[in-house]
Chains A and B, each alone.
Chain A
């Protein structure tokens, strides 16, 4: 270990491959911000304008600038270790020196995209418990160096943290002994395929539509004109065979959406492996972009697992682990989704992170059946009235078909109500819900940040209340339970939080 601290005692540059990786990052950034411009220039060229040469020079200029930028960035980026802190010195035009004390480092994640994989390097991301700009990235380090560096920093940090609290020092030495990594889940090709097939395809359809429309919007001011122009030859055909065309396009869109979510899932979760680590879990996955995420047990706020009708057929769940996050920008990163877990694996993870047995039986507390009426009103009837009546009178008599919304939503509400329940044990609260699928979420009571009881005038007449438990990773809500129960829950959760001295983050 001494060698690491001496190796990085003086300012060090990244691996030389970094130049290439930074260059590609630059080019991608330029393309992403200027692609409408580039595209319009190309279209302009096609129309026969004499821009051709200008375009060539502009492109050449941008490329040269990018190359110069990446070389300079590489040579002006140093990092080293000094006095229990990680120091980064960088910047060409604006020089910055960042000093991160080890104890402020939360996690260090390694990532590999295709280019990294080709050269055997990784990028290293340091997450700190700081304010908004809470992370630092080193673009390329040799894989073994990065791993050694991470190990060294995390071990040093632990010792620093231990010095401040002697009580936990004993715990960590005990934990250090069981440092063996144990694989909980490694997704096989068949399982990966099952996950892809059972993805929520409606969601990817929505994403695709959003993407296509926003792109078209950026390209032409009038999407309708474009479509009409492209389809002018087919117009007659379309009008006479509208049903066939409609069905055909539905099928095509469905197939594209299916393939999109399948490919996306396979790329993202390729060779997914979840294993136990000293203080939590480690997740590795991805084909082109290989990511490695560490999950710290004490930072985990909620664990949830859910299925949908397709997944249910495969007996699979999506596991979701949410960690505490300080900055709003990190919120996405703090939420880790692991698809394709079987019941046994979910059980194992929950057991490991929270000491809780998910297959043990607890008393299920149902919510009041009056929740149904509230939902009928707000989800089913009111939207129907607001949308369908005006549509019928002012637009098209066919709008009455939308009335189908009412029975559909009534059915969904009934399913939701039947599945809605919660369970309370001495240390945990488990929430069960879902309409077509099932979702279960668990929190540890002592990690709750605030307890909120809400009561509308209707609920007060029926002596009901809604309880919200805020955690550092979002709120847990239990609607429409008896006021006495809500108050008992309030008192008990506050007692658990206030009598706890454990670290909640």
Chain B
């Protein structure tokens, strides 16, 4: 690691490492939100597929036809639910002195780090199903476009509020530093 890159202004091995910072998991209840959202999506799809088979003149209303239309969807539903359950533990976030980090993904892992002094603004959001579980998402915007925006779902209200204030305090502080 020490000799990965040369001629930099600091020794990289002395820098704080993102992967060794303390990560927190999100609220367990968020898993239910994910499962319900997937469930609703697949139910809508299956009802749609069922309607097509039922109302179409060219397709018979036999058990085989319904099975062929709905079976794959059911399998996909089960598969994606299992994947969500497995991948849930990978959703973790970390707050450091100068940046915020969020990781996710089981097969395709992704870790996004946004320095506080590049944050444009932060907002707390709540979808309809999140509302049932009293959960909130924190969304952090940068000037870097959609791919660099960071969303931490499944936070309790006081937690989301606390993190947002922490971030906004830090960005304001950086603003003062600059002048």
Query: Using a CB–CB distance below 8 Å, which chain A residues touch chain B?
Result: 164-165, 167, 324, 326, 362-363, 424-427, 448-457, 460, 468, 470-472, 474-475, 484-485, 487-492, 494-495, 497-498, 500-501, 503-505
Whether A454 lies near B108 (C-beta < 8 A) is yes
| Bound-complex Cα distance A468 to B117 (A) | 19
- Smallest CB-CB separation from B111: which chain A residue? A453
| Bound-complex Cα distance A188 to B136 (A) | 61
Q: Which secondary structure characterizes the binding site on chain A?
A: mixed
The 9 closest A-B pairs by CB, nearest first: A449-B144, A470-B144, A470-B148, A450-B148, A472-B143, A498-B98, A449-B142, A426-B9, A488-B4
CB contacts (< 8 Å) of A453 on chain B: these are: 109-111
Residue from B8, B107, B144 in contact with A456 in the complex, judged by beta carbons closer than 8 Å: B107
Whether A474 lies near B145 (C-beta < 8 A) is yes
CB contacts (< 8 Å) of A460 on chain B: these are: 109
Number of A-B pairs, beta carbon distance below 8 Å:
121
A488 touching B1 in the complex, CB below 8 Å, given contacts A426-B7, A450-B148, A501-B177: yes
Q: Is B33 an interface residue (CB 8 A)?
A: no
Whether B143 lies near A452 (C-beta < 8 A) is no
Residue from B6, B109, B116 in contact with A363 in the complex, judged by beta carbons closer than 8 Å: B6
Residue from B1, B108, B115 in contact with A498 in the complex, judged by beta carbons closer than 8 Å: B115
Interface residues in B93-151 by Cβ distance below 8 A to A read 98-99, 107-118, 142-145, 147-148, 150
CB contacts (< 8 Å) of A324 on chain B: these are: 143
- Smallest CB-CB separation from A447: which chain B residue? B118
Whether A456 lies near B147 (C-beta < 8 A) is no
Residue from B12, B15, B114, B178 in contact with A450 in the complex, judged by beta carbons closer than 8 Å: B114
Residue from B8, B110, B118 in contact with A449 in the complex, judged by beta carbons closer than 8 Å: B118
Q: Is B172 an interface residue (CB 8 A)?
A: no
Contacts A424-B5, A450-B150, A455-B110 known; 8 new A-B pairs at CB < 8 A: A167-B179, A449-B118, A472-B145, A475-B145, A495-B10, A497-B117, A498-B116, A504-B118
A452 touching B147 in the complex, CB below 8 Å, given contacts A488-B4, A492-B8: yes
Whether B178 lies near A165 (C-beta < 8 A) is yes
CB contacts (< 8 Å) of A504 on chain B: these are: 118
A498 touching B179 in the complex, CB below 8 Å, given contacts A487-B18, A488-B1, A492-B5: no
The smallest C-beta distance from A47 to any residue of chain B, in angstroms, reads 42
Q: List 29 A-B contacts (CB under 8 A).
A: A326-B143, A362-B7, A363-B5, A426-B8, A449-B118, A450-B144, A451-B113, A452-B110, A452-B111, A452-B113, A454-B111, A455-B110, A470-B145, A470-B148, A471-B144, A472-B144, A475-B147, A488-B12, A491-B12, A491-B17, A492-B8, A492-B12, A492-B15, A494-B98, A495-B10, A495-B16, A497-B118, A498-B116, A503-B178
Chain A CB within 10 Å — which of B1, B18, B148, B178 has the most?
A: B148
CB contacts (< 8 Å) of A164 on chain B: these are: 179
